[in-house]
Each structure stands twice: as structure tokens, then as C-alpha cells.
Amino acid sequence: MQKQHILALDGLRGMAAMAIVIFHFMEWIFPQFEDNVIGHGFLAVDFFFCLSGFVMGYAYDDRIKSMSLSHFFIVRLIRLQPLVIIGSVLGLIGLLWAPYSAAEPKGISEYFQLFIYSILLIPYPVMEEKAFNLFSLNAPAWSLFWEYVANVIYALFLVRITTKYIFIIVALAAMAIIYTSYSYGNLAGGWSIDNWEVGGIRLAYSFCAGLLIYRRQWIISNAFGYLFPVSLLTLALLMPFTSINWLVESLIVLFLFPLIVAIGAGTSTPKGIQPFSAFLGAISYPLYMTHYAAIWIFGDYLQSAAFQESHLPFIVIGGSIGLILFAYLIMKVVDIPIRKYLTKRYLRIT
């Protein structure tokens, strides 16, 4: 596959990350999903999982058998863990600063405990004021927990089995997706002590579906252009709620997201927007892992005496742009230098 295919998928990943940021702002303003213009924004995580499965197959299927497991896991740790720690540091700063929070301050030992569990990605849902998130310092880290699970299962199991067994896993996970969506009324779970298992179900289907697309080379060569899969992704996240929302979200995850990945992998990215697409892909993970401390502060602000409704458009729009710029800064100044150092220190190849 040519480089342009990856660029298209990078751009889609960046669009999904920005959608998550906007969704997190908007869910504080409109707690009911059906009132939220981007009420399906949480489904961007399922799209991430599907992309992750495809990219994992693309990046490692042909070479992981010649790598030691320790080498593979070091590579993945270097790629993922620095931003897990950076996100935890930012979350701790936000919790300590908390200019609009009405919650009682905690003791040093409690803050230390929260931080250690957070950087080790050990679920620790103890804060009622944070809705018992699995990761109180950085709520989106729940999906990184499952991403690590996927990496381990891929290296130990999925890379060694044929597509026949991947089909079976995908079919079983699809049934679990439908049952879960019907039971909860949506697929928004995975982040809390009350719905933690939903994260594993969402991962199982979407990651394996993405891997299957790569393994079977279900790549749809097309001349639609980059904007077509972007439009499909946007429509999926902005789709209005209906009385059969559970079915609509199931169909989006089961069919539309894998289709978008297949189309995106087979389309071309015009030269004029290739740098922009590469930029979106580069900031997608830093943006996802660094934005939520600001979201907690925003949520506290909405419930404080300082809140003014007229400020909301400026906060949401300006905040989203500011978080994108901040993510880029973190990537360039902190994340990339750390990863370069760790790669040079612990790996012989870059």
C-alpha cells in the first residue's frame, strides 16, 4: 500500500480526535445525548479501535514474528506511555488547581495514589465528583487501557491465528455489541465503574474488524477523494437520535466504521492537503490524551457562580482551538523528544 493511504487514515484519526474534544465540551452543556448536536461523538472511540486494528496489522503482521516479544512491547510502550504520563500530570495539576471546584481538597497520600494508578493505567474509580471514572485524573485513558490489552492479545494470540478465527471473534463480538447497545440504549460505556465491561466489548469488535480488513485486504480502491470518508465519519457522529438509537449505533460501529476504514485506505489524499492530513494524524493521540484536564475545569465552571451562558460559544470554540495548539506544543516539545531518547536508549532501530 502506498503512503497516501496511511495519510488519509491519519487525517480521519485527527478528525475523530477533534470530534471527541468537542463532544466532551458539549456533553457538559447538554448532558442528554439526544440534545447534543454531536451526541454520537463517543463513537469516535470505536473508530479509533477499528483504525488501530488495521494499522496494527499493517505495521506489524509482516515483521512481528521476527521480533522478540520484549522488543515489540518496548516499541509500543515508547509510543503510548509518555502521553499516558503527561496526561496524568496535567490531570493532577487540574485537580490541584481546580479554580471552580467545590469539592473538598484531598490529602497528599490520596493525590499520590491517584497519580500512581493513573500512570500505570490501573483502573481506580474512587472519586464520586468525577462520576467514578476509571481514571479520575484523565478520563479518556480508559480507552488506552483497552488499547494496551489489544496490544498484548495481538502479540500473544491474534498474530498467530488465521483469518478464519478472526472471523469467529468478530462475529461473537458483533452479537455482544448489539446486545450491549440494546441493553444500555447506546454504546457510550467503558469509562466508568458502572459500565467498564462495555469497553472490552467495543474493543473486541472494532479492533478485530480493523485487523480483518487488513488481513483480507478489503481495501476499496476509489476515486472519491479524502473528503468522502471524512463526510461519512462526520455524518455518523452528527446523526440525530431516534427511538431505535441502539440499532443505529450498532450499525454504525458494525458496518459504517469498517467501511470508512476500507474506503480511506483505498483513496488518495491530494498533495495540497497531505501536510494537513499528516498534521491531524500527528496530533490525534496528543490531543486525545491532554485535553481532559481542561474539560474537568470547564465542567466545574458550568456549576459555579462565575458561569455566564453568553461565554459558552467563545469557551467551546476558543478552547477547542487552544487545546489543539496545546497538543501540538506538547507533541513537539515533550512527547517527540522523550520518544526519541527512549528509542535511542532502549532500541537498536528507530
Transcribe 16-79 into DSSP letters: HHHHHHHHHHHHHH--SGGG-TTTTGGGHHHHHHHHHHHHHHHHHTTTGGGS-HHHHHHHHHHH
pLDDT band at 129 (very low <50, low <70, confident <90, very high): confident
Residue 101 has pLDDT above 60, yes or no: yes
The pLDDT value given to residue 69: 93
What type of residue sits at position 75? V
Q: Which residue has the cell 478465527?
A: 165
pLDDT band at 105 (very low <50, low <70, confident <90, very high): confident
Residue 268 has pLDDT above 90, yes or no: no
From residue 266, give the alpha-carbon distance in Å to each of 5, 45, 57, 70. 6, 22, 16, 33
CA angle, 144 as apex, 215 and 172 as ends, to 5°? 45
Average pLDDT over the chain, rounded to an integer: 94
The closest alpha carbon to 119, from 97, 136, 95, 101, belongs to: 136
- Higher model confidence: residue 147 or residue 3? 147
The single-letter DSSP state of residue 87 is: H
From residue 312, give the alpha-carbon distance in Å to each of 29, 203, 308, 317, 322. 9, 34, 7, 8, 15
Kindly state the cell numbers that stand for 323: 487545546
Q: How far apart are CA 188 and CA 202, in angstroms?
A: 10
pLDDT band at 350 (very low <50, low <70, confident <90, very high): very low
- Give domain limits for the chain: 3-346
φ and ψ at 185, to 5 degrees? 90, -5
Kindly state the cell numbers that stand for 88: 496524568
Residue 239 has pLDDT above 80, yes or no: yes
**What's the pLDDT tens digit per position in 9-61?**
999 999 999 999 999 999 999 999 999 999 999 999 999 999 999 999 999 99
3-state helix, strand, coil in the chain (%, to 5): 75, 0, 25
φ and ψ at 133, to 5 degrees? -55, 145
8 Å CB contact between 115 and 104 = no
Q: How far apart are CA 264 and CA 220, in angstroms?
A: 8
Cβ neighbours around 279 below 10 Å, total: 16
The closest alpha carbon to 80, from 282, 279, 286, belongs to: 286
Which stretch of 1-10, 91-100, 146-155, 258-267 has the lowest confidence by average pLDDT? 1-10
Average pLDDT over residues 191-220: 97
Kindly state the cell numbers that stand for 328: 501540538
pLDDT band at 348 (very low <50, low <70, confident <90, very high): low
pLDDT band at 5 (very low <50, low <70, confident <90, very high): low
CA angle, 270 as apex, 269 and 272 as ends, to 5°? 125
Residue 265 has pLDDT above 80, yes or no: yes
186 class by beta-carbon count within 10 Å (0-12 exposed, 13-18 middle, 19+ buried): buried
Residue 269 has pLDDT above 90, yes or no: no
Residue 2 has pLDDT above 60, yes or no: no
Average pLDDT over residues 180-191: 97
Establish how many alpha carbons lie within 13 A of residue 324's alpha carbon, considering only the half-sphere containing its beta carbon.
Answer: 17
Residue 3 has pLDDT above 50, yes or no: no
